[in-house]
Amino acid sequence: MLRLVRVADQFAELETRLPREWADVRLVLRVEDPSQASRASALLGPLGPGRAGSQLNLTVPRGRVDALRRLLARLDRDRIRGELELVTYGETVVEARDVPRAAWPPLEEAWMTAVAALPDDWSDVYAEVELGSSDFLDQGALCLAPVNPARPDRGLAFRFRVARTYGYGASPDMTRRCLARMDERGINGRFVILWAQSDTKAVATQGPVWYVEGRAV
């Protein structure tokens, strides 16, 4: 039997398949020797792996890819072998931010346009509504309440998740209705999809996890 390629080298090969604007990646590592699974999980601990027997599940934001490379190299130094599989990835989908506020389209229209540009098999979205004025904060929060929005640390924005068929996030129809209510109340804003994922499979989870500045969202 041929020996498995070092896990760090496997990731280097998998990385060549990722699109230019990838945002995060979900990986599965199947450890060859089950007795080494605990050690592998400990070494990958800074990335918060999930474990099921000798299988380790990782969701790694692009900002932590250097840490991933270092930890995989550590596995190789400890002679821990395994098969690394790319399960799925998320892409950064960001519209131009230099559009004048007066030219921002209605929010419902912006939502429809953004969704139309996504792949046919999109499953999860992390989106943002930037308000045109601080005067809209209270009304905007009220209109968006059904999608469970969060306020980032900076700016006049709300961020929220959308799940197309299952998992954690508002439904596309609910998202559209909430944005339409904002339009009806004259709330000016800019809608943008920050990240999107396609064909995710929620196995005993509420869907994919994104990390913003080290925090899960």
Give the tens place of pLDDT for each residue, 153-165. Answer: 667 899 999 998 8
- Write the CATH number of the domain with boundaries 7-91: 3.30.70
Give the mean model confidence (pLDDT) for residues 1-28.
Answer: 82
Same fold, 7-91 and 93-198: yes
Q: Where are the domains of the chain?
A: 7-91, 93-198
Write down the pTM of the prediction.
Answer: 0.55
Query: What architecture (CATH level 2) is domain 93-198?
Result: 2-Layer Sandwich (3.30)
Task: Taking the CA atoms of 110, 111, 112 and 114 in sequence, report the sign of the dihedral they define.
Answer: positive
Give the mean model confidence (pLDDT) for residues 97-118.
Answer: 80
Give the tens place of pLDDT for each residue, 9-18. Answer: 999 999 888 8
Give the tens place of pLDDT for each residue, 134-187. Answer: 899 999 999 999 999 998 766 789 999 999 887 788 999 999 999 999 999 999
Give the mean model confidence (pLDDT) for residues 200-209.
Answer: 61
Give the tens place of pLDDT for each residue, 45-76. Answer: 888 888 888 999 988 888 889 999 999 999 99
